Structure 1
């Protein structure tokens, strides 16, 4: 039987014990019915896997004793998605959950000329990322940056391969054919209504390769998941 994994954001490396916060304690003790002596795992979201034993099964402040820790290698290559958030929050929350499960290491909310939503509840979205990380048995929490204007992103010294998916009838490669396996990747996904022509031109000037995700027009969040999946398939 697999051991349950709990997020320990503030655990101190090398600590002998750890006290879970109240929501995590309730889930551990009341939902999973863990008691003193039961083994569990902790993840700090930074690549460390902690083996632990429940020493105090208090439902509001469960304490575990750390019995060992292992450093898990970081995922290679690194894949990041810069995506314009939609007005419908639930659609972007769905995207974040699926992107984490597929293995994306970074998400950048992109502000474009047609972006519908430039603000979001960071704490709620981080909770979604944590839940998806634990559910998919990963040990690194993807980095969710603050909203970033497209022009600012263009000015960064980014390494690796860079792609922009857009709907204009230009000649484009399919993403699966364009991706070079093993290289860090930054993928741009536009808002509903697509990137504006001048934004596409700007991205091309900065070396982004234009790609298509297929023959059908996709919603923003669907395009994001498809892009994540194709990049993961190329790096299999």
Structure 2
């Protein structure tokens, strides 16, 4: 399946023109021709079956043959707020793999012990888009701007989500799958390489976040975030 990401397309479109970048990839790289079939996705659950009418390398024209809305719609909503790693490649790896597995929302979290204080959303969104094309996902995860730990907690104070925080401090904890219920909305907080501060942990617990363990091993930030993603996906597997 040749898949192209096209946010601008709508379910009522009869024809569509690919962007210059996607047109070049379709014609120059994939060497698609008149009559060849392709699929488009809009990132909002729409999967479009189309056929090439005019294989122009700058403005390839397609005719839309069929539309599936709410394609592979998830039964849950997972929001992972995770501190970006000092090595941004590791954070990009997490975004790629989490998108392939299934995640709905990511917030880069700036904490007291964070070694990275900013991220480039344009670059990270390109990683996500590449991952949804690779894994045939019709929904693009929402990547929020980076935000401080305190501000994030304030934003989510009145949410109905099941809220959890993974930290390394010795205390009584349950495994993530022991505190989750299938087909719900979840928030998982994952700290930086130096873990959350004592103040941040106390603040989260006061605001209703449940302390969780992801196992006996001490995991890297990106590994902990991906482990959470996997556990939630398995919990909600039909």
TM-score w.r.t. the length of structure 2 is 0.94
In the alignment, structure 1 residue 223 sits paired with structure 2 residue 221: no
Q: Which residue of 2 aligns with 1:189?
A: 190
Q: Which residue of 2 aligns with 1:47?
A: 45
Q: Which residue of 1 aligns with 2:36?
A: 38
Residues 44-53 or 6-15, more deviating = 6-15
- For the residues of structure 2 that align with 1:87 and 1:167, how far apart are their CA atoms? 19
Q: Which residue of 1 aligns with 2:96?
A: 97
Shift of the alpha carbon at 1:180?
1.7
Q: Deviations over 1:50-75 (max 9, x none)?
A: 11110111122211111221212531
SS state of the match for residue 202, structure 2?
A: helix
How many residues align? The count is 234
Q: Which residue of 2 aligns with 1:176?
A: 177
Q: Which residue of 2 aligns with 1:136?
A: 135
Q: Any residues of structure 2 matched to 1:1-236 within 5 Å, and which?
A: 3-72=1-70, 74-155=73-154, 156=156, 157-236=158-237
Shift of the alpha carbon at 1:117?
1.6
Q: Deviations over 1:136-173 (max 9, x none)?
A: 11111000000111111212322221110000000111
Unaligned residue ranges in structure 2 (runs of 5+): none
Residues 72-81 or 212-221, more deviating = 72-81
TM-score w.r.t. the length of structure 1 is 0.95
